[in-house]
Each structure stands twice: as structure tokens, then as C-alpha cells.
Structure 1
Amino acid sequence: MDMNAFLAKHQLPLSYQQQCEQFFIPLAQQINQAKQANSPLFVAINGCQGSGKTTLADFLVAWFTQHSAFNCIALSIDDFYLSKQRREQLAKTVHPLLVTRGVPGTHDVPLMRSTLAQLLAGNSKVPLPYFHKHLDDCALPAQWPTNEAPVDIVILEGWCVGSKPQSPAALAAPLNALEEQDDPQGVWRHYVNQCLKTEYLDLFAQFNYFVMLKAPSFSSVFNWRKQQEQKLVARNGIHAGTMDDPQLQRFIAHFERITRNNLIALPQQANALLELTEQRAISKLSFK
């Protein structure tokens, strides 16, 4: 495949090519072997913010396009966020923190379930939702792309893809300043957890192959997410959706509880585990 075009698209250094050859191609080959004849394969990719989920998903799509007969499509759970208006309504009726996109409970799960079901049923011309992060709102349905042909491999990537609910006891004490100051009674975190326990758990149970990009610790997330923010600024310029460091710290605090639990609970669930260093390089790939 044309690695130069891929590296340029994702603003990646030439050294990233070695990582692709050492880790991504063997992963693609394993997924290729997992694909059953006449049955679409549903692949999930989990990883904390800034871990490289979208880059990996795009690489897999490019690899399958060039090295197999399979039609592969990648979706981000981010594109299924509820509209700003619907999140504002949740903020009024459930808890103010739900105005911020990201956590379970801020996605349109019925739409996600319907979209994935149509793709996995082999349908073409399926509308694929899109979310404008710089506007913090959904694109109009008329702007959504569609798949031109039936899909053999569907990838869903996202920071909370595959996440597990916690016990009530684990939710009792606030984890960070955001929870302590904005959710002292635990209403928000219990709501998020209940969503994970019900509609998200049912959706995640459909995965055929689960990949995890595992950060060394939650402390890596800020630096990685800041690099991601800098790429967005370089691509789109400074706008209303751009975050400075304090805003970024607060934003990431919304994700901390589930991310920390993911680092503990998900590695043993993964069919393929990619372990990352503090510099966001892959140090190890293991298959279950």
C-alpha cells in the first residue's frame, strides 16, 4: 500500500511506517483469518483519547482494500453523539454534565445499532452519521455519506467501545475534582454506568473481534489528547471548539473513571492487545 500517502494524511513521521509493518500488518492478517465466509465480521477497537484508534482503523481499511477481496468500513462512535440540543435537554432533565459529549449516555445508541445492523446485513447505501467536533453538533442527515457496496468487515472504534460497567460500590466516592465538585451525589456517574450496563452492553456483545490499544497509564492521556488538539488546530484553525490546557484537563476528567477501569478490565478481553509506551509507540502485540 502507499505508505507515503497514508503518513501524509495522518501527519505522521516516516518512522511510523516501521510500526505499521511490525504491528499493524500482522493484526490485519489475523483479522483476515478471523473473517468467516459469507458472514460479515464486526471488529471493535478500544483505546483512550489520543491513542491512535482512528489511525489504526484507517490503516486496516486501506490494507483490506489493497490486499484482500473484502470491503472494509470504519466507523467512529464519536459520529453517533447526540446533537447539542438533545444533550442540553439531558443536562436539564438528568444532570448538567451530560451537556458535554463523550461518556456513555451522550450517544444515539438506537441510531448506532440501526446503522451497524444494516451494514452487517449486507446493505448498501446505508447513511453513515457524521459529527462536527468543531461545531460540537451533528451534521445534517443530507450531508451523511453512504457505503457504495455491501461491507464484509465493519470496524467500530472509540474510547469507550467495549467498556464495562462498574459496581455501585466503585461509584460511591468521587474520583477527581470534576466528580467532587460537579457530581457530589453521584447522579451523573450512576446514570453513565447504567447506560453502560444496558443499551451499550447489548451492543458491545455483538463484537466478533476486539482490539485494544493500551496506554501505560491514565496520565498519558492529557499529553496525547493535547497533540490531537494541536493537529485539529493545524487542520481547521482556532475556533469555538478549540480547547486550551485548563479546558482540556476538565474535558478529560469526564473520561477518567471509565478509562481507568478500561485499563484494568479490558486487556484480558482483547483478541489483539497493542501495548503503548509513554511516547505512544507500540511496544508489544499479543493475540488471544
Structure 2
Amino acid sequence: MSDAYMGIPWGHFKKFIALEADRFALLQSILEEAGLEYKIATISGNRHFFVAPPPPEEEFLRRRLTILVAHYDRTPGSPGANDNSASVFILIETAMKLMKAKANNWLIIFSDKEELKPGETIQDQGAYTLASGFRDAGMENAWIYSFDACGTGDTLIISNTVELMLKGEGNQAKEKIRASIQELREKALVTARDLRMGKVLLAPTPFSDDAGFFRAGVAAQTITMLPSEECANLVSTLRRNPQFAEALISQEEQELHYRRLIPETWRSLNSPSDSHLRLTPQNFRTVVRFAEALCKG
């Protein structure tokens, strides 16, 4: 990453992706240095950071919030530069801009335990119990956007994975999530259009924190980035092989013959090759502008 982009909080990025890094402690110190107010919520052993402006608590719970989520954990042995350090730092910068603008209808969460170990299920994901807490607090109707792997590429990907999973299912709870997802997607598309973002694609993506939210009955929209040439290949693959969308969801399928068709950026996630060398910092500002506009819109 170019040193020209470094500053608060980006000057800490290399420390954050070091293999020996205590990411919880580092994130805590970065938030403090950036002057952001935060609370740590420990839920089922997972430690989530909540960053928000300081309105009265009752007003905070009454308003329909925009909630931006980025997980700060990573797979052991991987630097996690794109998955998901870049998104964490993008949302820290977004929070700083929102505070400066005195915007007051947002909440940013840096979530724990998005990455699952072998044998674990979606119910073990931090987002699952987090979403359950949203329901208890009456916040399940918030606009929830999960930013994941937003550090590589020039094209904004708005995921339609959850809607594909819901295809053919028609019970009342699923219909409510379907309607909420469509609403979240429309807001994302309108925001991108208002910002005159020329490269936007609606496509299936690997699961993120939206999996845990979905399993808990709460709608969340995943946002990610890909290089435009990988997007073109993805669209072509989906056109020729519609069932490929299922391979993006199923880890088992990814390990079979479909894996070679997965965009290279996504194949590098959760591996030692997910380093800062794969990032495209020249596009970070675009994602910050988009995240900020979601909260202001």
C-alpha cells in the first residue's frame, strides 16, 4: 500500500495485518486515537465494537438506523488484508467523516467471529447472536449493510445471495426477509446512482456476516468489491452455468471443479496470499463515499 495514503487510521494498517497482531487490542487503540466513541459488547464470548454518535439512548433506539458492519477477525495464518482489514479501516474513516459532519442516524459495528472453523455452523458465527440482540432491542428493521473484502477492485458488488437462497421458499418469515433485502438493495443501488458510480454489479457472492443475520431472521445486505475484469468473467460464468451461484455459497462445491471458476480475488481470501500487495488503495475513497452516503441518505 502506498505510503501516500497513510495517516490516521491508515498508518496502523501494516501492524493490523501482521500475523502476530492482537487485532482486538489494536482496533481498540486505533478507535481511541481516531477520537471515536465506542462500546464493546461481549455476546456469547465474541467481542464486538459499537461505534456511534452520542444521542440520547431512547432516541437512538426509536430511530431507524443505518448499521454498517465489518468483521475484524481473520483466518489463522492469513494476513487478512482484504478479508477483512481493508473494510474495517474504510469504516473507521467513514465514522470519522460522519462524526465531523454531525450525522446522527448511524451505527458502525466491527464484528467478531465471522470466520468459522471446520465443524462450526452459522449458529456459531458472531453475527448470529448479534442479530438476536438486534431483535431484542427492537433494531431488526434497521438498514444493515455488511462490508466484506472491499479492498481489491474498482467495481462495487451488491450481493443477491440471500435472495437466491430464498428462491422457492414462501413462509411468512422468509417473505419478510425477502422484502427487507429488496429494500436494502434498492437503497444501495440508488445511493450508488446518486454518487454516479459507474461500475456497479448485482451478483451472488460468498457468504459474510449476512449468513448469521439471515439465520437469525434479520436481513443484511453484503457489499464487496472486485476488479472489473473479474466481474466480466463472473457474469460470463453465471450466464453459461447458472448453478455456479450455489458454488459460491457451498464450501464443499468450492473445493470441487467449480473452485477454478471463482474470481481470483475471492480465491485468495483466507489464505497467506491475502496480503497488502493485492489491495487497490486508489479505490478506497469510493467505498468510503458510498458508506458515508448510505448513512446520510
Query: TM range, normalised to the smaller chain?
Result: 0.3 to 0.5
TM-score, length-normalised on structure 2? 0.32
